[in-house]
């Protein structure tokens, strides 16, 4: 009987401890692998120390699988609380009520304190849907050493100059294969094909879509000329489809068009040779222009801890650190991710990093940047456009035919 | 007797539940979804009913047409090139006395993951540094751009597909050849049959059941090609099936339609179109080869 009493007392004691223990909240935050850098966990731990009842569970997914993960999580009824999404995906997610509406203080803070393009990126159907994070535009990234070797002291300013310089920078082996590329793309990656092309369309005075986003305008003469300008690179054998922007650190690529987040990748892989990397505005056709895309943090509509999730995101993105006059998210984006932050105070107070050899031109080109439109079926539209552009590059279709075919399919999706 | 039947049913129950949940329910759900416009973000039960629109759009879809033709050419190459090569290798194996080592070597592709095979061949096919083009150059043959060109990319996929199918097919043929009693060949020799007549009049007819099995499994596997194409064409961040959809295949396009473009209804319709195609091809194979084997000797 005494043994029974002892067990009963122990059992009561355990029940008492459980009931007295603070209610613990676990916030699940899902990010893609390129956003997960050293130091992210430190912010999560810092917040947990300030709010002991909140713990974090971080899920890291390769970028190419990120949207699929979000969908399958939601389908399984087990979504993460916080996601970091590419703005282009936002339209469909809003229409299917995946995003929870931010509280008014978040909306107010975003509208007041963020760069206008970032606010536009996080605005869908007229409402702010999340907290903007990074702004990514495109510039010409070039190898200074290769240019100097070929007798060039400065990068090209116009597209015609790029073609002329490309011809001199490209080298071939005895079999006629390119061993040093004057310029590369990455065929098969929709952003690497479509974004530089759209930048050139804007530079040539063309437009991607009508003002109401219901009609694709890439069959205009300006858009066709822009694609013909790109095809010239292939006709002159300055590049081919074997070229890959991720091979730039190998030192056999003279020029490419890329976004600022490539900086950390280049620093890590190039080591001392990183000093040879130069950045310039995209060589223009009629006027300087570049495309810009954005990301934002969102809270899932099925999250049980929406308030806690928004509170964390506000702390991370808007709490100004007194000693630095920056936010933690701003520090993380600039110092670890290598991206341009969206909050104006972060752009102003990271002069060393944002105005360094690499990022400076990206920041200066914000004035010439045109935001990628948030449209439904955005991923499919980009894939259609990518495939038609590549068909033109490989001379399977003329640029005019490729763009007409693209416009036909894209208009079906827009309408 | 009744008690026995109840016990049989109880023992079979876990398997029945397994099949209902993991096989029959997904098939019927997929069939249900194929008549709906569903993007996986909302409830499938409340998604709009669109009738046959997904099926009509599937057949009208130019990319699906391209994927269909690519998959058809891949399948025909496996059947009319891969299977004869496998049979030839199996016959060679029977001529080699101590063939254990060669059987292991030939079987390697069968045990290698298709993604790994794809990634390794991607480097072999590199137009500048790949050994295949170096070998072609050495032999004074024209070099191709392989996976970097929409004209040659599907050819590269087919070559790898044939290579990876040979291992398993050869060993199955080898087992089938081992089962043919020598007395038939001896009787044939006595009647004046040479090597070719023995092959066509004895070996092939008696191998029909094995050939039928290999034919049907290869038809099904070739039409379901997916991870090999991803391994070959899906380098970092690149959308597999390129360049410009030149290596797009039915299952890959189905996956992209469902999970990239969020058109689950259309993807389900594609799945049933594929099922119908495989069913027809399998029936044709069965009907054309149902007679054969030892029962007809």
Q: For residue B283, give how far its alpha carbon lies from the nearest alpha carbon of chain A (Å).
A: 36
Per the domain annotation, does B145 fall within a domain?
yes
Number of neighbours of residue A269 by Cβ within 10 angstroms: 13
Type and span of the H or E element at A408:
helix A399-414
- pLDDT at position A97, please? 87
Contact between chains at A96 and B39 (C-beta distance less than 8 A):
yes
User: Hey, which residues does A209 pair with through a beta bridge?
Assistant: A216
Choose between A343 and A244: higher pLDDT: A343
- In angstroms, the CA B240 to CA B70 distance is 14
- pLDDT at position A384, please? 93
Q: pLDDT-based confidence at A34, cuts 50/70/90?
A: confident
Cβ pair A300, A74 in contact under 8 A: yes
Per the domain annotation, does B43 fall within a domain?
no
> Which chain B residue's Cα is nearest to A193?
B238
Q: Check pLDDT > 70 for residue A239.
A: yes
Q: Is the dihedral of CA A387, A393, A394, A399 positive or negative?
A: positive
Half-sphere exposure of B236 (CA within 13 A, CB side): 7
Per the domain annotation, does B52 fall within a domain?
no
Contact between chains at A242 and B145 (C-beta distance less than 8 A):
yes
Number of neighbours of residue A65 by Cβ within 10 angstroms: 13
Give B-chain residues touching A85 at CB under 8 angstroms: none
Per the domain annotation, does B6 fall within a domain?
no
Give pLDDT tens digits for A186-236: 877 888 899 999 999 999 999 999 999 999 999 999 999 999 999 999 999
Per the domain annotation, does B9 fall within a domain?
no
Type and span of the H or E element at A294:
strand A290-299
Q: pLDDT-based confidence at A356, cuts 50/70/90?
A: confident
- In angstroms, the CA A120 to CA A372 distance is 10
Give pLDDT tens digits for A72-124: 888 788 899 999 999 988 888 888 888 999 999 999 999 999 999 899 889 99
- pLDDT at position A19, please? 57
Q: pLDDT-based confidence at A7, cuts 50/70/90?
A: confident
C-alpha distances in angstroms, B139 versus A82, A174, B134, B135?
A: 58, 15, 9, 6
State pTM to two decimals: 0.86
Helices assigned H by DSSP within B78-226: 83-95, 100-111, 114-124, 131-138, 153-178, 182-190, 195-198, 204-206, 208-223
Q: What's B272's domain CATH number?
A: 1.10.3720.10
Report chain B residues touching chain A, CB-CB < 8 A: 39-42, 63, 126-128, 133, 137, 143, 145, 148-151, 233-240, 242-245, 256, 259-262
Per the domain annotation, does B176 fall within a domain?
yes
Residues of chain B with pLDDT under 50: 297
Single out the residue of A296, A288, A295 nearest to residue A370, CA to CA: A288
Per the domain annotation, does B12 fall within a domain?
no
Contact between chains at A187 and B243 (C-beta distance less than 8 A):
yes
- pLDDT at position A71, please? 83
Per the domain annotation, does B196 fall within a domain?
yes
Cβ pair B71, B249 in contact under 8 A: yes
Half-sphere exposure of B150 (CA within 13 A, CB side): 20
- pLDDT at position B236, please? 64
- pLDDT at position A30, please? 95
> Which chain A residue's Cα is nearest to B237?
A189
Number of neighbours of residue B67 by Cβ within 10 angstroms: 23
Q: For residue A383, give how far its alpha carbon lies from the nearest alpha carbon of chain B (Å).
A: 8
Q: pLDDT-based confidence at A24, cuts 50/70/90?
A: confident
- As assigned by CATH, the class of the A24-136+293-367 domain is alpha beta
- pLDDT at position B297, please? 45
Q: Give A5-54 as a 3 state SS string.
A: HHHHHHHHHHHHHHHHCCCCEEEEEEEEHHHCCCCHHHHHHHHHHHCCCE
Looking at every residue in chain B, the average pLDDT score rounds to: 90
- pLDDT at position B261, please? 86
Half-sphere exposure of A326 (CA within 13 A, CB side): 18
Single out the residue of B261, B270, B292, B222 nearest to residue B71, CA to CA: B222
- As assigned by CATH, the class of the A137-292+371-414 domain is alpha beta
Give B-chain residues touching A388 at CB under 8 angstroms: 244
How many domains does chain B divide into? Answer: 1
**Backbone dihedral angles phi then psi of residue B75, each to the nearest 5 degrees:** -65, -45
C-alpha distances in angstroms, B95 versus A221, A341, B88, B102, B178?
A: 68, 70, 11, 12, 11
Q: In chain A, which segments carry CATH 3.40.190.10?
A: 24-136+293-367, 137-292+371-414
Single out the residue of B21, B53, B20 nearest to residue B34, CA to CA: B53
Q: For residue A288, give how far its alpha carbon lies from the nearest alpha carbon of chain B (Å).
A: 28
Single out the residue of A206, A254, A194, A179 nearest to residue A230, CA to CA: A194
**Number of inter-chain CB pairs under 8 A, A vs B:** 99
The interface predicted TM-score of the complex, written ipTM, equals 0.81
**Backbone dihedral angles phi then psi of residue A305, each to the nearest 5 degrees:** -125, 55
Contact between chains at A189 and B137 (C-beta distance less than 8 A):
no
Q: For residue A386, give how far its alpha carbon lies from the nearest alpha carbon of chain B (Å).
A: 8
- pLDDT at position B291, please? 59
- pLDDT at position B237, please? 61
Spell out where A62-118 has E strands.
82-86
- pLDDT at position A63, please? 84
């Amino acid at each position: 009987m005494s043994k029974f009493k002892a067990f009963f007392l122990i059992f009561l004691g355990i029940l008492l401890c459980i009931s007295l223990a603070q209610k613990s909240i676990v916030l699940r935050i899902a990010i893609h692998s390129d956003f997960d850098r050293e130091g992210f966990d430190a912010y999560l731990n810092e917040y947990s120390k300030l709010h002991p009842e909140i713990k974090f569970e971080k899920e890291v997914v390769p970028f190419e699988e990120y949207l699929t993960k979000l969908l399958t999580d939601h389908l399984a009824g087990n979504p993460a609380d916080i996601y970091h999404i590419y703005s282009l995906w936002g339209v469909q997610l809003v229409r299917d009520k995946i995003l929870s509406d931010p509280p008014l203080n978040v909306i107010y803070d975003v509208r007041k304190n963020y760069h206008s393009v970032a606010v536009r990126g996080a605005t869908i159907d007229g409402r702010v849907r999340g907290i903007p994070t990074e702004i990514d535009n495109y510039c010409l990234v070039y190898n200074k050493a290769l240019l100097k070797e070929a007798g060039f002291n400065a990068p090209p300013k116009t597209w015609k100059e790029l073609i002329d310089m490309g011809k001199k920078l490209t080298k071939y082996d005895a079999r006629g294969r390119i061993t040093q590329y004057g310029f590369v793309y990455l065929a098969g990656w929709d952003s690497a094909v479509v974004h530089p092309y759209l930048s050139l369309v804007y530079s040539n005075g063309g437009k991607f879509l009508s003002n109401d986003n219901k009609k694709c305008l890439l069959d205009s003469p300006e858009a066709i000329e822009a694609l013909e300008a790109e095809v010239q690179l292939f006709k002159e054998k300055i590049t081919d489809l074997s070229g890959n922007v991720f091979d730039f650190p190998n030192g056999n690529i003279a020029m490419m068009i890329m976004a600022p987040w490539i900086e950390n990748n280049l620093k890590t892989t190039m080591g001392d040779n990183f000093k040879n990397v130069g950045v310039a505005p995209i060589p223009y056709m009629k006027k300087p222009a570049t495309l810009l895309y954005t990301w934002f943090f969102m809270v899932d509509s099925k999250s049980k801890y929406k308030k806690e999730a928004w509170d964390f995101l506000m702390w991370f993105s808007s709490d100004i650190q007194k000693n630095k006059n920056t936010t933690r998210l701003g520090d993380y984006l600039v110092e670890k991710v290598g991206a341009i932050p969206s909050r104006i105070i972060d752009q102003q107070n990271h002069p060393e990093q944002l105005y360094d050899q690499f990022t400076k031109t990206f920041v200066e080109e914000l004035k010439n940047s045109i935001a990628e439109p948030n449209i439904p079926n955005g991923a499919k539209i980009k894939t259609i456009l990518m495939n038609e552009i590549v068909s033109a590059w490989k001379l399977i279709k003329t640029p005019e035919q490729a763009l007409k075919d693209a416009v036909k399919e894209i208009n079906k999706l827009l309408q | 007797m009744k008690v026995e039947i109840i016990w049989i049913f109880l023992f079979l129950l876990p398997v029945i539940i397994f099949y209902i949940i993991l096989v029959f329910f997904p098939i019927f759900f997929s069939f249900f979804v194929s008549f709906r416009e569903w993007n996986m973000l909302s409830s499938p039960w409340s998604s709009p009913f669109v009738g046959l629109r997904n099926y009509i759009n599937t057949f009208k879809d130019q990319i699906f047409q391209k994927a269909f033709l690519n998959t058809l050419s891949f399948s025909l190459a496996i059947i009319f090139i891969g299977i004869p090569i496998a049979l030839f290798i199996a016959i060679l194996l029977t001529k080699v006395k101590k063939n254990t080592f060669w059987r292991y070597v030939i079987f390697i592709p069968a045990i290698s993951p298709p993604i790994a095979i794809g990634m390794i061949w991607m480097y072999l096919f590199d137009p500048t540094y790949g050994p295949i083009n170096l070998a072609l150059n050495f032999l004074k043959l024209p070099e191709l751009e392989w996976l970097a060109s929409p004209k040659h990319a599907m050819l590269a996929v087919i070559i790898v597909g044939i290579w990876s199918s040979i291992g398993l097919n050869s060993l199955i043929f080898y087992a089938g050849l081992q089962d043919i009693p020598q007395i038939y060949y001896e009787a044939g020799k006595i009647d004046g049959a040479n090597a070719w007549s023995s092959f066509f009049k004895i070996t092939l007819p008696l191998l029909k059941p094995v050939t039928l099995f290999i034919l049907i499994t290869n038809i099904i596997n070739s039409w379901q090609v997916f991870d090999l194409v991803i391994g070959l064409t899906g380098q970092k961040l690149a959308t597999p099936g390129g360049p410009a959809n030149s290596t797009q295949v039915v299952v890959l396009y189905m996956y992209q339609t469902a999970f990239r473009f969020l058109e689950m209804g259309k993807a389900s319709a594609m799945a049933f179109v594929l099922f119908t195609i495989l069913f027809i091809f399998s029936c044709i194979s069965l009907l054309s080869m149902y007679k054969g084997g030892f029962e007809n000797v």
